[in-house]
Amino acid sequence: MEIIRTPQEMQRRALELERAGHMVGFVPTMGFLHDGHLSLMHLARSRCDVLVASIFVNPAQFGPNEDLDAYPRDFARDEALCEAAGVDIVFYPEPASMYASDASVWIDETRLSQGLCGASRPGHFRGVCTVVAKLFNLVRPDVAVFGEKDAQQLRIIERMVRDLDFPVEIVRGPTVREADGLAMSSRNKYLDASQRRDALCLKRSLDEVTDMVRQGERQVAVLRDAMADGIGKVAAAAIDYIEFVDDATLVPVQLVEGRTLVAMAVKIGPTRLIDNAVLEP
Ligand code: PAF
């Protein structure tokens, strides 16, 4: 497995792979890998003959009061996991090499990024779109895999690829969960034992509304109240948002009539967790 540390070398290698006719698969990550990332790598692996993973904690997608410095990092462990997952190239750049100190061009998605995490984390998706566009220009993948756990991010990246004509196919990777239902996330590491138990309220509330919709409930106000009641019973939990939106446009809906995304962000103690489900009446 090759480790590439500079954008210039990554792009040179990508052009070489392209000229040699390789099918390049790509999984961008911020490291501290878990089984969710590995499942994206396995999915990408099945679609390509050269698999590239990037490990880069992107400063541009963190707000001033967010956890950039505390974000968990363990490159030695990530390297071993990538190797075992069949990654051919790990791109692991220094932040200073990715952004010029006077960088002044950014990519702003202006519709899908307005609500949900975009409303709670101003500038977050600008940072995500910009780094993903840069990574696509450096890695030049044919296929890139993004997880459905970050439902809004996934739809924004799909929109960016469509609107800016990136020659890459975006593949959706299903959310991977712990045995008890908690969605895998690098941020789960922040949870102590009791917060870890409390964090199950996210998936529990998604299961509850999925059942309610199956039994015929369509009113978003009723569904949202049921979720908020359940989560409200967990003392350590504070709801950032619970939103029901059209699955394609991310516009809020009042009734679950078509494919509806229910997305949530909940703080368990200081740790902000997200999760979602797609409701199909
Ligand atoms: O989902 C993530 O880990 C990040 O947002 C991504 C796509 C790697 C961009 O930094």
Output the CA torsion sign for 163, 168, 169, 174: negative
Query: 135 CB less than 6 Å from ligand 1?
Result: no
So which residues are the catalytic ones?
Answer: 37
Give me the residue label for tokens 């998604």.
206
Confidence band, pLDDT 50/70/90 cuts, at residue 48? very high
**Per-residue pLDDT tens over the stretch 28-44:** 999 999 999 999 999 99
Measure 58 CA to ligand 1 centroid, in angstroms: 8
Q: Is the CB of 148 under 6 A from ligand 1?
A: no
H helices of the chain, in order, are: 7-19, 35-45, 75-84, 95-98, 116-120, 124-139, 151-163, 193-198, 200-214, 220-232
Residue 29 Cα to ligand 1 middle (Å): 5
Q: At what angle do helices 75-84 and 35-45 cross, to 10 degrees?
A: 40
Is the beta carbon of 31 within 6 A of some atom in ligand 1? no
Interval 97-120 mean pLDDT: 97
Q: Is the CB of 156 under 6 A from ligand 1?
A: no
Span 149-156, average pLDDT = 98
CB of 30 closer than 6 angstroms to any ligand 1 atom: yes
For residue range 205-223, list pLDDT tens digits in order.
999 999 999 999 999 999 9
CA dist 151 and 276 (Å) reads 7
Q: Whole-number mean pLDDT of the chain?
A: 98
Distance, CA of 35 to CA of 185 (rounded, Å): 9
Please write the tens of the pLDDT for every residue from 77-106.
Answer: 999 999 999 999 999 999 999 999 999 999
167 token code pair: 């020659």
The residues, any chain, with a CB within 8 Å of residue 214's CB and separated by 6 or more, are none
pLDDT at 37: 98
Say what the pLDDT of residue 231 is: 98
Q: Which residues, 6 or more positions from 64, have their beta carbon under 8 angstroms from its beta carbon?
A: none
Q: Is the pTM of this model over 0.95?
A: yes
**In this predicted model, what pLDDT tens digit does every residue of 211-260 receive, in sequence order?**
999 999 999 999 999 999 999 999 999 999 999 999 999 999 999 999 99
What is d(CA 220, CA 241) in angstroms, rounded to the nearest whole number?
Answer: 14
Q: Count how many Cα atoms sit within 13 Å of the Cα of residue 88 in the half-sphere of its side chain.
A: 17
Give residues with Cβ within 8 angstroms of 104, minimum separation 6: none
Residue nearest atom 9 in ligand 1 by C-alpha distance? 128
Domains and CATH numbers, the chain: 2-173 (3.40.50.620), 186-275 (3.30.1300.10)
Mutate to test the pocket of ligand 1, among 27, 38, 61 (most ligand atoms within 8 A of CB): 61
Ligand 1 atom at minimal distance to the Cα of residue 56:
10
pLDDT at site 258: 96
pLDDT band at residue 25 using 50, 70 and 90 as cut-offs:
very high
Q: What is the pLDDT of residues 172-209, one digit of tens each?
A: 999 999 999 999 999 999 999 999 999 999 999 999 99
